[in-house]
Every structure is written in C-alpha cells, then in structure tokens.
Amino acid sequence: MLELQNLSKYFGGVRAVDSLSLKIEPGQIFGLIGPNGSGKSTTVNLITGLLGVTNGSIRLSGEEITRLPTHVRLSSGIARTFQNIRLFGQLTVWQNLWVAENSRAQRERTSFLARWLGGESGARARITKALEFSGLSHKANELAANLAFGEQRRLELARAMAAEPKLLLLDEPAAGMNAEEIGALDERIRQIRDSGITVLLIEHHMELIMAIADRIAVLNFGQKIAEGTPAEVQANPAVREAYLGTAETSTRGTA
C-alpha cells in the first residue's frame, strides 16, 4: 500500500527523519511510535506532502508520489487527521463534511463548476451516514469550534473519511481522550480497517496501539530502531532504552 524508501528530511543540520524505510501492507493497522521529537509527525507531513522530502521516495500502491502536491496526493487516496485539531472552526459540523466532499469530486474528475455550484449527487446521504458513524448527528448545525474536544476529534476523523481514502493517517487520535473515549476510538479504528482502509496510526497511548496495531515501527531521532508485531517490539531492548531513556536521551524528553 505505502512504501517509504530511505526517506529523509533535514531541517538545517537536524535530521528529523533519517533514511526511513517502511512497507505498509494493504488492510493493516500500522503503528508508528517513538519518543517526542523522534520524527513521527514529520513523517506524516512528508507522506501528505505538507513538507518536501530531502531524500528518498514515497510510493502509494506502487505509484511514485514523492513530488506530487498535497491536493493531488489526497485525490490519489491519502487522508489524515491532525495531532492539534485543524477543523474549519467557523463552519458548522455539516459544512465541514460538505467541504470535504470536494476531494471525492476531485477524484471523480467532476468539472470545476459542477463541483462547486451543484454536483450534490449523493452527498447528503453520505454526510448523514458519516454523522451517524461518528455520533454527531445531533450536532450537525453547531459550529465546529463550539464542539467538545472529543467531538472535535470525531469530526476530524469523519472529515478524513469523507475523502474515502485507501490510506488513513491518524496523528495521535487519542491525545486528550478519557478511557471511555479511547475505547470507542479503538472500536472505530477497527471498523475502518475492516472496511478495507489501511491505517497508519501514530500514538503515544501504548495500550491502544499495542491492542490494535498489526505491525509497529519505532522511531528514535528520526531513525527506525525496531519493527515487528506488538509483542516483538515490546520485547526489543533498543525500544526499552529509547523509551526509558539513557543518560544521553533523557534530557531530550521521553514519551
């Protein structure tokens, strides 16, 4: 599904991502973990095209997308949520999803005018369904900025799903959630995977990621230090060291 080859991103002298190679198989929930500042979010930004790569290549279903602009990558099947929520705050819940319908139209190559002026075919039904899936039906006409935190996260997920992606990138979806909300999120991510969408999950909440990830890669200082099943990763001494911290790493922060 997604293949990163020797992917690197340097900010000046800082190697935020350093020769990272990953292969994510279709239908997997692939976990990406690592201490703060280990390059997880940078990796997501490289995959979505918000940052340009320094070196290496990104392939989606075998197709080279390394240099494609963001909106084109999206129409080729990538969607994401953000660690710090980025909703359209002054649009209603419904309108947030309505705007997101655009990506679908783009993929179907609807003409510019039809896309923006009309082209409502099925949109209403899809949005209604998305609202039900995320439990936000009763909030359809609220401004997104006025939603509770957990609801905003759900709306962001629904907005990403509106693009009907093949690959969904979730950047710390459980951040700030309580145990009950995390339980619901766990269920929702499994449903998404079961509907045939490949998921790349970045998360600090170990319980969640160990429970649902099929495969996990661990980053530290931009490099991959381990990869395998949850059990293999948990048993890996290098991972323990990265997380528990040695004299060298503890000053730079741990998870």
**Least distance (Å) between residue 157 CB and other proteins:** 13
Of 158 and 182, the one with the shorter C-beta distance to other proteins is: 158
Alpha-carbon gap, residue 139 to 96, rounded angstroms: 12
Q: For the chain, state the CA radius of gyration.
A: 19
Of 24 and 160, the one with the shorter C-beta distance to other proteins is: 160
CB atoms within 10 A of CB 216: 25
Distances (CA, A) of 90 to 48, 103, 117, 145, 150: 24, 20, 21, 6, 18
Alpha-carbon gap, residue 243 to 213, rounded angstroms: 18
**Least distance (Å) between residue 192 CB and other proteins:** 17
**Least distance (Å) between residue 82 CB and other proteins:** 7
Alpha-carbon gap, residue 4 to 97, rounded angstroms: 30
Of 91 and 255, the one with the shorter C-beta distance to other proteins is: 91
Order the strands of the 55-60 sheet from edge to edge.
14-24, 2-11, 55-60, 63-64
**Least distance (Å) between residue 193 CB and other proteins:** 21
Of 28 and 48, the one with the shorter C-beta distance to other proteins is: 48
**Least distance (Å) between residue 75 CB and other proteins:** 6
Q: Are strands 29-33 and 215-220 parallel, antiparallel or unpaired?
A: parallel
Of 86 and 240, the one with the shorter C-beta distance to other proteins is: 86
Of 104 and 205, the one with the shorter C-beta distance to other proteins is: 104
Beta pairing partners, 11: 14
**Least distance (Å) between residue 200 CB and other proteins:** 14
- Look-up of token digits 């995320």: 134
Backbone angles phi and psi of 14, in degrees to 5: -85, 125
Point out which residues bind other proteins (CB under 8 A): 48, 50, 70-71, 74-75, 79-80, 82, 84, 86-91, 95, 98-100, 102-103, 105-106, 115-117, 159-160, 162-163
Alpha-carbon gap, residue 136 to 44, rounded angstroms: 27
Of 86 and 129, the one with the shorter C-beta distance to other proteins is: 86
CB atoms within 10 A of CB 12: 6
Alpha-carbon gap, residue 162 to 200, rounded angstroms: 17
**Least distance (Å) between residue 108 CB and other proteins:** 11
Closest by Cα among 194, 190, 213 to 202: 213
